[in-house]
Structure 1
């Protein structure tokens, strides 16, 4: 498949040149400093690799868990942080702390989280429905970050459900308020991660938002998917989430694709095992060996997806406890097994569509700018 010409153009987001135009999406419990480093080692150091979503209120309160989550590597530049917030005041305070203490070089704002504990309080993907409140929050972040020259970007979904689409208004408002780029996960909150992303919505957003980059997100599980999204939608770059689970080398493939170079072959199982070892060591460095190796367990099935490993060895790797045990078990893998075609299939959470849980009366007045009661108490967006 040929590379669309505009796919080779780097992005300019504030003072940052993003080349190639590829972003690692923040994923709760996944995109910690260890995983970001691994993805960066395969991909370009000038792509964006975003940390796990954190809440503005937790930054203001200097919650200890949150402060650990916003740890960046010594040479990690640009440092990309995603903030969740429902209150313009808290957002202002949080961004002032982040830029004042030089904790990030780029702030992304999350208005796409579909999980019930967030939407039931009016946050995440529910919030863009309240256009004036959405405007105030974006404005607060942009103005607080501006003196330090830190660019703010905004990510959102198509809408709450098919009857309440919000993405075109959200894109225009973010553009008006000074966001340097917008990203659309082309699903509604009601879809969660199920079904297919509607890439045609990305194309419509690109037509509506003309002065800043528009990035597409949803169902990119291979470099060819990314090329196809750019060709079909005209988007300026891609955001990759579940597609890189157990496949951090996808960022190397994306770099080759966006530069018009031949795609490298998929790794044999021996190479996958080496990456699994590397991931384990990075997590151990970050979290300590016991916690780090236990955190690695959730990644094992993604790394081994499609390979005929055998139930017993697969089970043992999923229960690994030490780095020495990890080395021993990886050593039992057949290093010559070729990369399976099925590894390009969806990974990570999918689930089923569901009615979005909203605060009582949330849909009554889209112009109501009242801050949702209690929503700012959340410290994790899921």
Structure 2
């Protein structure tokens, strides 16, 4: 297979990208994943309304670093004009790509007409895509799902609409909004979209967690790129493993406990630097729990992770984890 793909004028290695994940794929985690070989990363979704109303919180989510490139920033909303204005504002943060979220299943997003709710209004989705494409001079991509529910599976039609309205690539998550994240992803549906959308790259998303699932997703869908979301949480070396395998068939060993702990500390240290210790440590609780999954005595350590308040607390937890494995 080709070693690279192009989204507009942005060249991306054909390995595995990091999916946008609200509340988890922040700048610190994206930088860690890039270090481990993620070929492309997308930021947390940002409200177009929040951005146009000058919300500081929304603007902070758009801050990107050169270490993350190529990087896309993701916007959500249900009004073409507001989305276009938000995209223009987002350009001051220098993203390589603007991604439009038309797949988020969260009730507070979909319930207000954004995210996956746009799958019920394909015409409006097309208008939003066109408005954003016309507003910026970087490639615009669209991320969506299989459909709203099993009675309205319209990913193929939706993908074609994005293509017709100027999207430079599309990402398909192979579950409906109603399914959220539970049943296995519908790989055949992603393959159907790939066959129907021929002039732009199609990115496959859902259930990729290791080399085997990465290879299967590429082979069965014919996708131009794959994207990993929850499979990377507490597991950024998944990108290194996929990268090495696609390069020359090497199967790297899993990380040692020492490396797991070291990367966890580095990840959270960066988060503290970027968003204050108080904010970062609240979010670190779930990340620490993910990093410690599968470790001997994990249940107790994860409970402890749920009480973290300072970086020193995390250091202490890390020491205890390492000590318990030396005894």
Offset of residue 78 of structure 1: 2.5
- Alpha-carbon distance in structure 2 between the residues aligned to 1:226 and 1:32: 23
- Corresponding position: 1:260 with 2:251: no
| Equivalences for residues 109-120 of structure 1 within 5 A | 109-120=100-111
Q: Which structure 1 segments of 5+ residues have no match?
A: 1-5, 338-382
Aligned twin of 2:237: 249
Aligned twin of 1:68: 60
Q: Is the 8 A contact 1:9 1:19 kept in 2?
A: yes
| Equivalences for residues 187-206 of structure 1 within 5 A | 187-206=175-194
Q: Deviations over 1:206-262 (max 9, x none)?
A: 110011111111111112211111111111110111000110111111212332331
- Alpha-carbon distance in structure 1 between the residues aligned to 2:127 and 2:298: 54
- Corresponding position: 1:326 with 2:326: no
Q: Which structure 2 segments of 5+ residues have no match?
A: none
Of stretches 196-205 and 13-22 in structure 1, the one that deviates more from structure 2 is: 13-22
Greater relative contact order (CA < 8 Å, ≥ 6 in sequence): 1
Q: Is the 8 A contact 1:156 1:184 kept in 2?
A: yes
- Corresponding position: 1:10 with 2:4: yes
Q: Is the 8 A contact 1:156 1:183 kept in 2?
A: yes
Q: Would you say how many aligned residue pairs link Structure 1 and Structure 2?
A: 326
- Alpha-carbon distance in structure 1 between the residues aligned to 2:150 and 2:198: 24
Rate the CA distance shift 1:223–1:310 in 2: closer, same or farther, 3 A. Answer: closer
Larger % of helix: which? 2
Q: Is the 8 A contact 2:14 2:224 kept in 1?
A: no
Secondary structure of 2:320's aligned partner: coil
Secondary structure of 1:283's aligned partner: helix
Q: Deviations over 1:101-146 (max 9, x none)?
A: 253221011110112222223321121221221111110011111x
- Alignment match of 1:154 (pick from 126, 142, 155): 142
Aligned twin of 1:36: 30
Secondary structure of 1:259's aligned partner: helix
* CA-based RMSD: 1.9
| Equivalences for residues 142-221 of structure 1 within 5 A | 142-145=133-136, 148=137, 150-221=138-209
- Alpha-carbon distance in structure 2 between the residues aligned to 1:102 and 1:121: 26
Offset of residue 336 of structure 1: 9.9
Rate the CA distance shift 1:226–1:335 in 2: closer, same or farther, 3 A. Answer: farther
- Corresponding position: 1:234 with 2:222: yes
Of stretches 119-128 and 299-308 in structure 1, the one that deviates more from structure 2 is: 119-128
Aligned twin of 2:86: 94
Q: Return structure 1 stretches of 4+ with deviation > 3 angstroms.
A: 310-314, 334-337
Offset of residue 335 of structure 1: 7.4
Q: Is the 8 A contact 2:289 2:301 kept in 1?
A: no
State the TM-score, normalizing by the size of structure 1. 0.81
Secondary structure of 2:157's aligned partner: helix
Secondary structure of 1:328's aligned partner: helix
Rate the CA distance shift 1:87–1:272 in 2: closer, same or farther, 3 A. Answer: same
Offset of residue 74 of structure 1: 4.7
Secondary structure of 1:164's aligned partner: coil
